[in-house]
Structure 1
Amino acid sequence: MRQLNADNYRTDKNGWNFVHVEGSAFERGVSYGRLMAGEITASVQEAARLAELQTGISWEYFRESERSILPRWKAHMEREPYREFLDELEGMVRGVQMEVRDCTLSVDDLILWNGYEELTGYWFPSAADDIYRSLPGQHGAAGTDRHFKGADDHCSAFIATGSYTADGRIVMGHNSFTPFENCNYMNVIADIVPEHGSPFIMQTLPGYIHSLADVYETRTGRGAGLMITETTIGGFNVYDCDGAPEFVRIRYAVQYAESLDEFVRLFLENNNGGYANTWLVGDIATNEIMRFEAGLKFYQIDRTEDGYYAGFNAPLDARIRNLECVDSGFADIRRHQGARQVRIPQLMEKYKGRLNNVTAQKILADHYDVYLEKENPCSRTVCSHYELDKREYMCQPGRPAPYEPRGAVDGVTASADDALELSLWARWGSSCGMPFHAEEFLRDHPQFAHLKEFLKDRPSRPWTRFGAKESRHD
């Protein structure tokens, strides 16, 4: 355990970095920066290399070009209600500078890092043709005729209440479907006690003011708070460059919303369509849960006090699916969206009345393939394993390639009792515990040798409970 003082400390356990910080925006940023300095520095440096590998455009271009989205994102952060989060990032930079000799990290680096998913998967595809035309080269202003194929999709999730859970109160679960090269630093659990707004805990990455993995719990009062998770909307392909980035809108909603209605209202303020998600949110005080599909022009809300909602990377709202997405995989059980649209409800019914952390963890570890109708860990299963999948049933351009190193890289579950203590259960590595050995994988699949520096071993680790209460006794 590393402790700056009684209110700011870090513990590491079973592959996770747990960090607890309190205070004003700048103060907690400084503490976070000091406690996570090595990981913040390394993760930004890795992101810079990956950004060029995945877009062909350098980090310096994103940081310095007048064509970059960065100035517009920063302008939003310089104004209310988001100014607090810029102060927090400025504090992080100061904290890293106190720990790292010759530190070159800037606030601009951290803004781009916080928006990495939106930068590379939403804004850049919409701007790629214009950027290409502006670059020097033999053919001058020739275009690429490149079309935005739609955003990638990343998670499985569910939230349940009433007759579906063991105690009638809320239970939620989530795992992240991520390219392995992008997930090396998704192993942070941050417990934040801000000067204003609600305390909250989240799965996150070093230097982030939001989750990205999108697991949050908030405490809004005695016996009250929100449980929040999501799945991305695959194929989403509209974007408003003038809106506020998703990472500040979700942080604002998490820290300041005290009800389901307020969460929706705060999140939709200045909506730009970036990192579009199906949000699954529960109110601990009332046991009501909500599915909030948030597109750009359209959104859809469903609520219940007895039932469940499942996230599988495709929207139910026909307007979002047909007008704001392409190739969503909605009902195609050869695809992971369609397959999990079938499988997660089957599992919710199987465990109806028994849902708790133990059964939620079994759901996240499930390997049943509804297309082949057998146990078969692959891209279509709730615990996804693209790295084991020949993809012989899929040959669409732009979709993950055969044996792509990608899949479920974590698992998180929580009950209402956990959330009231701002605690959660987490597993780092595959949700099922299956290990990944990078050297062996690259020997068998040398077509991915260009990712060698980014692919790390992912050993099997146990489910572990995290929260300030647990960490103070580690």
Structure 2
Amino acid sequence: MLKRLSVVCLACFSLLVAAPPSDPRLAGAFRKPAENGWTFVHLEGDPYRLGFQNGHLLAPEIAEFQKVVALEMSVDYKKPWSFFREAAEKELWPLIEQEYRDELRGVTEGVQARGVKMDLWDTVAMNAFLELGYYSNWYDRQHGKTSKVVVPERCSAFVATGSYTKDGKVIIAHNAWTGYMDGRFWTIVYDIVPSRGHRILMDGLPGVIHSGDDFGMNSAGIAITETTISDFSGWNPQGIPEFVRARKAMQYSESIDDFVRIMSEKNNGGYANNWLVVDRKTNEIGSLELGLKNVTTRRSFDGYFCGANFPVNEKLAREETTFPLEDKSVSSNARRVRWEQLMAENKGKIDVDAAKRFLADHLDTYTGKEEPNERTLCGHIDFSPRG
């Protein structure tokens, strides 16, 4: 099954023996030289050690990534980095459980040990960068402003099982469309062995304790991905940060039930996604569309679920988004049509090679032409005259 999940991660299991560290907090941790663009990083130990190892091993990348995040957010949301640091300290930190507080402190002290000038609130805000835009929009509304930054459409994904796959077992696949500035950092493959919970293999960003674009699996056989719900607006200031729930679900889920429970409990509405999950033990697949007011769970032992940043539940779409459900020229709607076509055409034939072809697909269903752009499963927004 590791082969099935290796569209991104296949080359990362040939481990190197790490040199004995001078700092006992680094015991067992190492990073490999980049291979095919990916850097494999192994972390192990208690929460603080996991964080310290991350911060220490990836300090140069973390220092640069934090600066990029601060710049992007200040431009996108027209607020200084100090606004997001304050939100991290006063809004998010009180709602983060001790285990992940310790890990975030570890990241901070790890980079500081390498001479990087970052503090805890830089680290927390950096970890929450995907959801702090939702907070910013909510904050503006609370203060009588109407500014709204649109959630970008930038993922295609699917899960399938039973009669849809070649061998009847689960398949999970995902691609992420990132900006050039932050996307060049989304090249870490983490192998995390925590002192509690399950071992995790996931892609991710330097200094960030969750995957972010969310492609990973754990040693209990649970594999997870998602696509963001376009044009979503909502925030619960009493909810647990999304990045904490996402990491906890990756670490502790032993079943789809566990995943749904952890992600749904005290949901803050940030980084609202349609989550796709598989259980390798049972070959069951699931979809959790996690809005703030509307939550929809679907499960199957024989079928598929697709994601392309479209809202699944029409009630959620109408109550929590401004998404144009009927506009077939919109990226998410065009890609949804293509997913349905591919699933029907390939029923009983879907395997890893097929999944790779799907994620590289360039058919624009709105025009009927092969032309990579924002409406194709393999997104090329930079090629589109519409931007």
| Residue of structure 1 in register with 2:64 after alignment | 42
- TM-score normalised to structure 1 length: 0.74
Correspondence for 1:106 among 119, 130, 135: 119
Partners of 2:192 and 2:72 in 1: CA distance: 29
Contact 2:77/2:149 (CA < 8 Å) preserved in 1?
no
Code of the aligned partner of 2:171: V
Correspondence for 2:284 among 273, 277, 288: 288
Contact 1:10/1:35 (CA < 8 Å) preserved in 2?
yes
3-state SS, counterpart of residue 379 of structure 2: coil
Partners of 2:233 and 2:66 in 1: CA distance: 26
Q: Does 1:74 align with 2:87?
A: no
Matches within 5 A, 1:143-222: 145-148=145-148, 150-220=150-220
| Residue of structure 1 in register with 2:30 after alignment | 9
Q: Report the Cα offset of residue 154 of structure 1.
A: 2.4
Q: Report the Cα offset of residue 155 of structure 1.
A: 0.7
| Residue of structure 2 in register with 1:433 after alignment | none
Deviations 1:368-422 (A, max 9, x none): 011110101111000011111112xxxxxxxxxx3xxxxxxxxxxxxxxxxxxxx
Q: Report the Cα offset of residue 316 of structure 1.
A: 1.6
Correspondence for 1:368 among 357, 360, 363: 363
Q: Report the Cα offset of residue 48 of structure 1.
A: 1.4
Q: Report the Cα offset of residue 126 of structure 1.
A: 1.6
Partners of 2:141 and 2:340 in 1: CA distance: 41
Q: Report the Cα offset of residue 63 of structure 1.
A: 1.7
3-state SS, counterpart of residue 13 of structure 1: coil
Matches within 5 A, 1:17-416: 17-64=39-86, 68=87, 70-77=89-96, 82-99=97-114, 101=115, 103-120=116-133, 122-128=134-140, 145-148=145-148, 150-220=150-220, 225-326=221-322, 328-391=323-386, 402=387
Partners of 1:94 and 1:107 in 2: CA distance: 8
Q: Report the Cα offset of residue 129 of structure 1.
A: 5.2
Q: 1:115 to 1:269 in 2, by over 3 A?
A: same
Contact 1:2/1:10 (CA < 8 Å) preserved in 2?
no
Partners of 2:327 and 2:294 in 1: CA distance: 23
3-state SS, counterpart of residue 19 of structure 1: strand
Partners of 2:300 and 2:374 in 1: CA distance: 31
Partners of 1:33 and 1:60 in 2: CA distance: 22
Q: Report the Cα offset of residue 33 of structure 1.
A: 1.5
Asked which structure has the greater CA Rg, the reply is: 1
3-state SS, counterpart of residue 361 of structure 2: coil
Q: Report the Cα offset of residue 275 of structure 1.
A: 0.5
Aligned sequence identity (%) = 38
Q: Report the Cα offset of residue 146 of structure 1.
A: 1.7
Code of the aligned partner of 1:91: G
Q: Report the Cα offset of residue 357 of structure 1.
A: 1.7
Aligned residues: 365
Q: Report the Cα offset of residue 93 of structure 1.
A: 1.6
3-state SS, counterpart of residue 356 of structure 2: helix
Partners of 1:259 and 1:319 in 2: CA distance: 27
Deviations 1:330-357 (A, max 9, x none): 3422111110110012112233222222
Q: Report the Cα offset of residue 70 of structure 1.
A: 3.6
| Residue of structure 2 in register with 1:448 after alignment | none
Code of the aligned partner of 1:38: P
3-state SS, counterpart of residue 178 of structure 1: coil
| Residue of structure 2 in register with 1:426 after alignment | none
Deviations 1:153-209 (A, max 9, x none): 321100011111122111111011233333221111111110001111111101111
Q: 1:4 to 1:321 in 2, by over 3 A?
A: farther
- TM-score normalised to structure 2 length: 0.90
Deviations 1:44-64 (A, max 9, x none): 012112221222211123224
Unaligned runs of 5+ in 2: 1-15, 21-26
3-state SS, counterpart of residue 213 of structure 1: coil
Cα RMSD of the aligned pairs, angstroms, is: 1.7
Q: 1:4 to 1:206 in 2, by over 3 A?
A: farther
Partners of 1:295 and 1:202 in 2: CA distance: 24
